Amino acid sequence: MDKQYGLIAKFDTPADIMHAAEKVRDAGFKKWDVITPFPLHGLDSAMGLKRSVVGRFTIVGGTFGLTAGMLMIWFTGGSELSLPFMEGYKLIVGGKPYFSPQFAFPVAYEMTILFSAFASIGGMFILNKLPRHHHPVLKYKDVRASSDDKFFLYIENEDPQFDDEKTRAFLNDLEPVEVGELEE
Amino acid sequence: MASAHASTGEVKPAILDEVNPVDIPRPALVANDRSFSWITDKICGIVEEKTPTWWWVCFVLACGTASFTVMGLVYLVSTGTGVWGLANPANWGWAIVNFVFWIGIGHAGTLISAILCLLRQKWRTSINRAAEAMTIFAVVCAGIFPVFHVGRVWMAWFLFPIPNANAIWPNFKSALLWDVFAVSTYGTVSVLFWYVGLIPDLASVRDRATSKIRQVLYGIFSMGWRGSNRQWSNYEMCYLLLAGLSTPLVLSVHTIVSFDFAISLLPGWHTTIFPPYFVAGAIFSGFGMVLTLMLPLRAIYRLDDLITQYHIDCMTKIILATGTMVGYAYGMEFFIAAYGANDFEIFAFVNRAFGNYAWAYWIMISCNVISPQFFWFKKVRQNTALVWIITIFVNIGMWFERFVIAVTTLTRDFLPSSWGYYSPTIVDIFTYVGTFGVFSVLFLLFLRFLPLMAMAEIKAVTPQADAHAHKR
Chosen from B207, B255, B264 to mutate, greatest number of chain A CBs within 10 A: B207
Pair B41, A145: CB distance under 8 Å: no
How far off is chain B from A183, nearest CA to CA, in Å? 15
A45 with A95, same domain: the answer is no
Domain count, chain A: 2
Q: How far is CA A110 from CA A57, A68, B23, B137, B190, in A?
A: 17, 11, 43, 20, 13
A109 with A60, same domain: the answer is yes
| Residues in chain B, pLDDT under 50 | 1-6, 470-472
Domain boundary among A90, A110, A128: A128
How far off is chain A from B92, nearest CA to CA, in Å? 22
A158 with A175, same domain: the answer is yes
Q: Which helix (H) or strand (E) holds A24?
A: helix A14-27
| Side-chain half-sphere CA neighbours of A25 within 13 A | 15
| Alpha-carbon torsion angle B248, B254, B257, B263, nearest 10 | -70
A123 with A143, same domain: the answer is no
| Residue of chain B nearest A154, judged by CA positions | B228
A109 with A146, same domain: the answer is no
Asked whether the beta carbons of residue B256 and residue A58 sit closer than 8 angstroms, the reply is no
Pair A169, A7: CB distance under 8 Å: no
In the chain, the amino acid numbered A100 is S
How far off is chain A from B33, nearest CA to CA, in Å? 14
Pair A161, A27: CB distance under 8 Å: yes
A84 with A122, same domain: the answer is yes
A66 with A27, same domain: the answer is no
**Res B472: pLDDT:** 36
Alpha helix ranges (H) inside B209-308 = 212-221, 229-262, 274-300
Domain boundary among A87, A103, A128: A128
**Res A1: pLDDT:** 55
Chosen from B39, B42, B230 to mutate, greatest number of chain A CBs within 10 A: B230
Considering CB atoms only, which of A18, A116, A147 is closest to B467? A18
**Res B426: pLDDT:** 92
* Structural domain range at position A108: 54-128
**Res B1: pLDDT:** 42
The ipTM (two decimal places) reads 0.92
**Res B8: pLDDT:** 53
The residue ranking higher by pLDDT, A110 or B16, is A110
Considering CB atoms only, which of B178, B236, B469 is closest to A107? B178
Q: How far is CA B454 from CA A143, B52, B471, in A?
A: 20, 22, 28
Domain boundary among A128, A149, A167: A128
pLDDT at A110 exceeding the cut of 70:
yes
**Res B4: pLDDT:** 47
CA-wise closest residue to B183 among B222, B138, B245, B218: B138
DSSP state of B26: P
Q: Tell me the pLDDT tens digit for each residue of B137-154.
A: 999 999 999 999 888 899
The residue-averaged pLDDT of A55-69 equals 95
pTM: 0.89
**Partners of residue B192 in chain A, C-beta under 8 Å:** 117-118, 121
Report chain A's mean pLDDT, rounded to a whole number: 88
A69 with A113, same domain: the answer is yes
The residue-averaged pLDDT of A103-116 equals 94
| Side-chain half-sphere CA neighbours of B75 within 13 A | 16
Asked whether the beta carbons of residue B189 and residue A113 sit closer than 8 angstroms, the reply is yes
**Res B3: pLDDT:** 47
**Res B446: pLDDT:** 94
**Partners of residue B221 in chain A, C-beta under 8 Å:** none
**A151 three-class SS:** strand
Q: Where are the domains of chain B?
A: 91-155+250-453
Pair B258, B274: CB distance under 8 Å: yes
A112 with A79, same domain: the answer is yes
pLDDT at A105 exceeding the cut of 90:
yes
